[in-house]
Amino acid sequence: MSRIIAIANQKGGVGKTTTTISLGAALSELEKRVLLIDMDSQGTLSIALGINGMNGTMYDVLRDMDVMLEDVVLPTATNCYLAPSNIHLAGAEVELINEPGREFILKSKLAAVDSQYDYVLIDCPPSLGMLTLNSFTAAESILIPVQAHYLAFRGMQMLLTTIAKVKTRLNPELDIMGILPTFFDRRTKHSQEVMQQLKEYYGDKVIDIPIPSTIKFADTTTAGESILTYSSTSPAATAYRKLAREVMNGKKN
């Protein structure tokens, strides 16, 4: 059975897409078959992987009963597979409102490919709307990237409350895999203090593998690669490889 992980934070710019790509690539290096799902109507994950032309997207999967996930999945340069998205997905937020069982559509579509992948990583939009609810209902666990910045705490309680409600009402198996510090600069007092505060507030929910800040992440988007191939020996690549091993071992620290 696939392990389904939603990567989420309603605050943008915290490294959700970078984490989806990099963790997926690291798991692929460990010979795991990985599916990445772009659930953001901005299509950032698809763009970052160099996927432009699409015959089908997650919009079609969510809105058409006859379109299956395997109908839209494409291979990528990271050795992962991608279910892409574009701006049309924004319409699904409104269109799904009156759909019976609307929160379970993604879960239903994923059931058909459960035996084909070891891991499914869902890149969630920076909001707590219907697309995110679908992702949380389908997922086994949630990974929360949080920028190592004082504003990182903004909205965290709302996100954790939403996760608790989904667990109670829609997905009793849902768990928080952990809070992943990103854009971490160990040379600065600021990053060190924020890391300490995260641990004080959230305890063992914080994954003690801070992802270093590097300009190379921006360069990987232009190259259509992951940090693991673009800068294989960089501290950031090393951190994501370590995270992948911890995910496989079911550990957080």
What does the pLDDT look like over 45-100, one tens digit per residue? 999 998 876 789 999 999 999 999 999 999 998 899 999 999 999 999 889 988 99
Residue 156 has pLDDT above 70, yes or no: yes
Contact in structure between 35 and 112 (CB atoms under 8 Å): no
Q: Which amino acid is it at 201?
A: Y
The domain segmentation of the chain, as residue ranges, is 3-249
Residues in CB range of 75: below 8 A, 6 or more apart: 81, 82
Strands 81-83 and 74-75: antiparallel
pLDDT band at 160 (very low <50, low <70, confident <90, very high): very high
Q: Which CATH superfamily is domain 3-249 in?
A: P-loop containing nucleotide triphosphate hydrolases (3.40.50.300)
Question: Mean pLDDT over residues 90-117, rounded?
Answer: 93
Give me the residue label for tokens 């990528």.
Answer: 76
Give the per-residue pLDDT at 143.
98
Q: φ and ψ at 37, to 5 degrees? A: -115, 125
**pTM for this model (two decimals):** 0.94
Q: What is the rounded CA–CA span in Å between residue 59 and residue 219?
A: 28
Question: Mean pLDDT over residues 104-127, rounded?
Answer: 96
Which residue spans within 110-209 are E strands per DSSP? Answer: 119-123, 141-147, 175-182
Residue 119 has pLDDT above 90, yes or no: yes
Average pLDDT score, the chain: 91
Residue 253 has pLDDT above 50, yes or no: no
What does the pLDDT look like over 210-234, one tens digit per residue? 999 887 787 787 777 899 988 899 9
What does the pLDDT look like over 181-211, one tens digit per residue? 998 877 788 788 888 888 999 999 999 999 9
Would you give the distance in Å from CA 148 to the centre of its chain? 18
Residues in CB range of 5: below 8 A, 6 or more apart: 119, 120, 121, 122, 139, 140, 141, 142, 143, 177, 247
